[in-house]
Chains A and B, each alone.
Chain A
């Protein structure tokens, strides 16, 4: 009977508050929410008027770049950290309410939330505060590489080195983990968003066409690749011609996108190489034998694993369901919330 009761009361949740997507995992329920981290805000009457939240998540993302003057669609996270504190808090509140409608006698949830390992103490504090403001009873922070490694099913608690590369929307996190703790971690502010930006810039430079972020993301998903492959794919894209000022369509090939992505990809490669340089030799040997694991949305970029394999000479595998690795890992960490472990960070 007590177990039943505590099942009713226990509503601990894990959140992957990402630049691009926010995912929420609930104990015993799995992933209950997967929505873009976008908030649409309506400004009522003048700049000093009341602001109301019009939509969050997928609904708000549809509005990105398509809003009239009174509505702004905002991505409150930037580079893996909070760019707009109030809006992030509101977004979290909405998301938590969506998955955890308050019930009679239910206590506010405990929340595990992940932070980029490169984030500063101020940024961590901001994330913690916003989760508390959104109604959490207690907030634990977990570093993203650790969460990603647990989610990917790596043997993090064994005395063997595991390397994980989590390529998210705003940051790429490289971590080497052994015995339940992070041995080396670094974070570069390159991720899916940077890829999109590079594609936009490339097309503007070479075609004199302006495309939006949503279109750039579409191009990346359909024909983007990180390594020259045998087949060349093409896609028709519509954008505004800068010279004429009129929308036009044109065709772009995967090789061109590869060229556009070279710079951000190089930053990721050098971050990985630097991590390997800094890894103690014993752990380096483990990694050479097992290889590294890619997680995060960026891991879905075609042939990114090939690129890293060629560049490092080590085996690289893409985790299963890379988009949800981090939140699943945080969810598994929930079970350890009451235990004393090294997987949570103390700030």
Chain B
């Protein structure tokens, strides 16, 4: 930290890319300034000036200060500081990692009445969004599935009243037993016009079908209640998965199903679409 090492032979002053310190020292000498003059002006220590002139920038308090000191020094010596600082940047030691402050982890901290921290709201949001998308997809798929039976039911309920039984059908089919045989032969998924026939025909002979009017098939445990027109509880219990029940009484029936998506309800052999009566899996409906 003395002036001594400055006496190292200056190497080829003609070549411009000499060290920053050498350029500064040459300029200082050519202006006839002593180190003490510089110390007086820049308020740096002699050691710091020597470090700059000998390119020992790691002896300075840090890169920010090294650049600042060189800039001030160059200005004092009436040099353009920018090229020197640019050159200096390549010569500076790699800045040591500035993080000696213990990075407090959350476990290591204690708080007095600490505020609520939002953990990872992002992940949470993503999970919720993914859940919603899957849920929406499921509902959409479910709604797509029973499109055909839905048609049957609606026509059935609409056309069941005796008055609306198609006249030509009654005229052309004299015996109820014949009609019944026809039902068996007409496939369920035929055209809409034809579906009216099977749905409306049994209504003309409810007594013949008797008890088996309603059939329940349960794929997953489900609570089920069926009350008929006379107020009789035909069933009011939890059916286990795989159970199948047939029941009947006097129409109309008031039906409640606890787990509608996993329950199949058949009215006189026709599947009833429960989805349209369902609200959050519970279906409440009245069938005639």
Binding site for B on A (CB under 8 A): 5-6, 9, 107, 152-160, 179-180, 289-291, 293, 305, 309, 312-320, 339-341
Contacts and interface: CB of A to CB of B under 8 A. Distances in A.
Nearest to B72: A317
Interface stretch (B57-65, B143-151, B155-163, B198-206): B57-65
A158 B68 contact: no
Interface in B16-52: 41-45
B42 A309 contact: yes
Contact of B71 (A6, A159, A318): A318
B126 interface: yes
B266 interface: no
A317 B71 contact: yes
A9 B122 contact: yes
Contacts of A157: 98-101
28 contacts: A107-B122, A154-B62, A154-B64, A155-B62, A157-B99, A158-B100, A160-B61, A180-B101, A289-B45, A290-B61, A290-B65, A291-B65, A291-B68, A309-B42, A312-B43, A313-B43, A315-B43, A316-B72, A317-B69, A317-B72, A318-B68, A318-B71, A319-B68, A320-B67, A340-B104, A340-B106, A341-B103, A341-B104
Nearest to B126: A5
Q: Which of A153, A160, A319 has the most CB of B within 10 A?
A: A153
B109 interface: yes
Interface in B185-205: none
B8 to A, nearest CB: 25
A315 B101 CA distance: 26
Contacts of B121: 107
A315 B42 contact: yes
Interface string B58-86: 00011111011101100000000000000
A339 B106 CA distance: 8
A160 B245 CA distance: 84
A158 B98 contact: yes
Contact of B122 (A6, A156, A318): A6
A320 B72 CA distance: 12
Given A305-B72, A316-B72, A341-B103, 9 more contacts: A154-B64, A157-B98, A158-B101, A160-B61, A179-B101, A291-B68, A319-B64, A340-B106, A340-B109
A341 B101 CA distance: 9
A304 to B, nearest CB: 12
Nearest to B95: A153
Given A5-B126, A6-B122, A309-B42, A293 B100 contact: no
Across the A-B interface, give the 9 residue pairs with the lowest CB-CB distance, nearest first: A317-B68, A157-B101, A153-B64, A290-B61, A340-B104, A315-B43, A180-B101, A309-B43, A340-B109
Contacts of A290: 61-62, 65
Interface string B92-120: 00000011110111100100000000000
B272 to A, nearest CB: 41
Interface of B: 41-45, 61-65, 67-69, 71-72, 98-101, 103-106, 109, 121-122, 125-126
Nearest to B78: A230
A315 B100 contact: no
Contacts of A318: 68, 71
A316 B42 CA distance: 8
A315 B67 contact: no
A209 to B, nearest CB: 33
Nearest to A179: B101
A320 B109 CA distance: 36
A341 B62 CA distance: 23
A313 B100 CA distance: 30
B114 to A, nearest CB: 10
Nearest to A158: B100
Nearest to B111: A340
Nearest to B61: A290
A158 B68 CA distance: 19
Contacts of A313: 43
Given A9-B122, A315-B42, A155 B68 contact: no
Contacts of B61: 160, 289-290
B68 A293 contact: yes
Given A318-B71, A320-B67, A155 B98 contact: yes
B99 A315 contact: no
Nearest to B103: A339
Contacts of A160: 61
Nearest to A303: B75
A321 to B, nearest CB: 12
Nearest to A154: B64
Contacts of A340: 104-106, 109
B64 A315 contact: no
A319 B128 CA distance: 47
Contacts of B69: 315, 317
A315 B60 CA distance: 13
Contacts of B104: 339-341
A291 B100 contact: no
A160 B98 CA distance: 12
B41 to A, nearest CB: 8
B33 to A, nearest CB: 15
A177 to B, nearest CB: 11
Contacts of A293: 64, 68
Contact of B64 (A152, A158, A180): A152
Nearest to A346: B115
Nearest to B123: A2
A341 B41 CA distance: 39
